[in-house]
Amino acid sequence: MSDDPQRVAMISVHTSPLEQPGTGDAGGLNVYVAETAKELARRGIEVDIFTRRTTGETPVVGELVPGVRVVHVTAGPYEGLPKEELPGQLCAFSAGIMQVGLSVPEDHYDVVHTHYWLSGQVGWLAADRWGVALVHTMHTMARVKNLHLADDDTPEPRGREIGEVQVVEAADRLVANTEGEANELIDLYDAPPRKVSVVPPGVDLTTFTPGSRAEARVELDLPVDGELLLFVGRIQPLKAPDMLLRVAAELLRREPERRRRLTVAVLGGPSGTGLAHPHGLEDLAADLGITDVVRFVKPVERAVLAQWYRAADLVLVPSYSESFGLVAIEAQACGTPVVAADVGGLPTAVGDAGVLVAGHDPSAWTDAVQDLLRDPDRRSELGRRAVEHASGFGWDATTDRLLAVYRQAIHDRTHSPIAEGEGLAGVPRAVIP
C-alpha cells in the first residue's frame, strides 16, 4: 500500500530497549519497543529508536538487529538521574533529536511512534518538525495509577497528568493495550474514540515455550519435588511483590508442614518508589519469619527467565495497576498457571487460563493459591489452557495491528496544534516562553 511506512522513528526517552528488563525503569515497555521494532525490520521497515544516553561508554548509535538502530541522545547527566527529574531534560532531548534530523532528508521518517508520556512530549515536537504522523502508546497513565495506589505508594504528580493530556490532544493515533485501556483514554483523558486503536502486546513464542519442570528446577538449583511460587517484575509498591511474601507466610501459618517443600522466589530489582527502601522485601521476609523459604534473584536474560517460569507451580502477578501484564502472558506461554490481580489489562492477558483475585487481601490471595496447590489436576488443565491462550499473542500479530494503525495515522494525519498557532493544552502560542 502507498501508505505503508518505510522508516519509523520510535522514541523511548526514559529507558532503552537494550537495558535488562526487571530493574530500574526497564520493564514491559522495553520489551514492547524492542520486539515491535525487530518485527518491523523483518518486514523491511527501517526503525530508529531514540533513547537517553545513560553512560559515557554507550555508543551514540548502536544496532539492535539489522534494520533497527538505537540512537542515544545526551540529555542531562549520564547516571543518577531518576525518571521523576527527566521532564527538566526534555528540551535537551528534543534538541538532540532535532540535530539528528538535520542529517537526514525532511521526509526521511514516515511516522513517529512514542512510548510513555515523556516521549510523547518530545515526539509531538519531532513529528511537527518533520511533518509526519504521531502515534503514541501510553503504557501507563497517571490518572489510572492514582486511582489504584498501594497504601505506601506516592501519587503521580499533576505535571504528568497535564503532560499526558497534551500528548492525547497532539497525537494522530493513540494505541491502547486493551479495550479497558481504550475506555480509560476516552473517559479519563477525553480522547476522541476515533483516534484510539486497541493493539494487544505480544510474547516471544520462540523463547517462552512449555518445557520440563524437573529439568528447569535442576538447572536453577531448586528442589525437584518441592513447590515454587514466583514473582517476576520490578520491585516497587505498584507491583505489590510483598503479596507473595504475605501469601507464603499465611500458607505456612495454615500448614506448617509445607515449610519443608516451599520455595518463594522474587525475581527483579528495585525501581521507582521502591528505590527508597531497596531492602524492604528482605526486611518484610524477616518480620514474617520466612527468610528460610525466600530467594531473591536479580533480573536474568530471557532464556533463563523462561526456565524460572517453567520451574514454578504458580506465578503471582498482584499489581495494583497494569496496562497489560507481559509477565502473565510470558508465564502462560511456558505452561505455568497465573494468579493475578483483577485490574487493568490483566483479565485480557490471563483470559480463562488463570485465576483473578479481586482486591489485595492477603487472605483471599492465600485461598486462591492454596486451592491450586492442593489440586494438581486443575493446575495441569490451567497450564494447558495457558499455552493455548498465549499462542494468540505473538509479536507478529501485534505488529500486524500496529502497521494498520500507522497506515491510518499517515492517511488521516491531523494538523498539529503547534502549526495551528496553539501551544500546550490550547494556550496561545505567543505566550509560551
Instruction: Enumerate the known binding-site residues.
Output: 14, 20-21, 25-30, 83, 116, 140, 160, 234, 239, 300, 309-310, 312, 322, 330, 336
Going 54 to 146 to 134 to 429, the CA torsion angle's sign is negative
Q: Which amino acid is at 107?
A: D
Residue appearing with cell numbers 476515533? 194
User: 91-98, long-range: CB within 8 Å, 24+ apart, which pairs?
Assistant: 93/13, 93/50, 93/52, 93/122, 94/122, 94/125, 94/126, 96/50, 97/11, 97/50, 97/73, 97/122, 97/126, 98/125, 98/126, 98/129
End-to-end CA distance of the chain: 42
The three grid cell numbers given for residue 248, joined into one nine-digit string: 507464603
**Vertex 184, ends 178 and 190: CA angle to 5°?**
130
Residue appearing with cell numbers 489504584? 148
Cα–Cα distance between 298 and 289 in angstroms, integer?
22
DSSP string, 244-262: HHHHHHHHHHH-GGGGGTE
The three grid cell numbers given for residue 102, joined into one nine-digit string: 538535520
Tell me the three state secondary structure of residue 219: helix
Give the annotated binding-site residues for Mg(2+).
309-310, 312, 336
Give the annotated binding-site residues for UDP-N-acetyl-alpha-D-glucosamine.
20-21, 28, 234, 239, 300, 322, 330
User: What residues does 50 pair with on adjacent strands?
Assistant: 11, 71
Q: Are 113 and 137 in contact (CB under 8 A)?
A: yes
CB 295: neighbour CB atoms within 10 A?
Answer: 14
The three grid cell numbers given for residue 101, joined into one nine-digit string: 534530523
Give the annotated binding-site residues for 1D-myo-inositol 3-phosphate.
14, 25-30, 83, 116, 140, 160
Going 107 to 112 to 117 to 119, the CA torsion angle's sign is negative
